Amino acid sequence: MIEMRRVTAGDAMTYGAIVVASWKAAYRGILSDDFLDRLEPADRAGYVLRSLESGSDDRIFLAYDGEKAVGALLVRPCGDADALDTGEVLVLYLLPEAWGKGHGKGMMDFAIEQVREMGFSTATLWVLNDNARGRRFYERYGFAPDGAEQDVVLDRPVRGMRYRLGL
């Protein structure tokens, strides 16, 4: 259904464009329109480039439906002080036109495979409390809130919760 390919420096803007398009659709009504309208693919592409240059443990991929990149994925060792023994799905975004086609599940299956390859038996991810669509997706997959919450400052502080899945 989808093919996952590791990103190269030449893919950074494609990655950034997918993340931004997904944020603009998924977070409309959660974050301010002004904030979302100011998002630029280059901002997200910069993270990819820095990660590749530094040799970090990030595993960054694009999901392809045929020859079209439709999803962005980033998996890494979790950086939360109370979850250092877990893998984290930091980014899992699809272009809005790819929603509802099973690509998200395929990407999550791949993400969990990456977490296992890194030697972890637990996966975590953070989701905004008001992101009902995202929370439903993660819960259907088997993730559940683990009680950790934090404010994420984007255009304003918004509450996020951590989800966890034993593998």
Dihedral of CA atoms 92, 94, 100, 101 in degrees, nearest 10, equals -100
What does the buried/exposed string (b/e) look like for 68-78 if buried means 16 or more CB atoms within 10 Å of the residue's CB? ebbbbbbbbbb
Cα Rg of the chain (Å, integer)? 15
Q: What's the pLDDT score for residue 103?
A: 97
On whether the CB atoms of residues 89 and 101 are closer than 8 A, the answer is no
Only one residue has tokens 């998996």, namely: 75
Cα distance between residue 162 and residue 82, in whole Å: 11
Domain that holds residue 82: 3-166
Q: Domain tally for the chain?
A: 1
Q: 113-163, pLDDT tens digit by residue?
A: 999 999 999 999 999 999 999 999 999 999 999 999 999 988 889 999 999
Tens-place pLDDT, residues 28-81: 999 999 999 999 999 999 999 999 999 999 999 999 999 999 999 999 999 999
Residue type for position 8: T
CATH number of domain containing 55: 3.40.630.30
d(Cα 129, Cα 149) in Å, to the nearest integer?
9
**What confidence score (pLDDT) does residue 155 get?**
85
Picking from 99, 157, 104, 151, the residue whose alpha carbon sits closest to that of residue 126 is: 151
Q: What is the pLDDT of residues 10-34, one digit of tens each?
A: 999 999 999 999 999 999 999 999 9
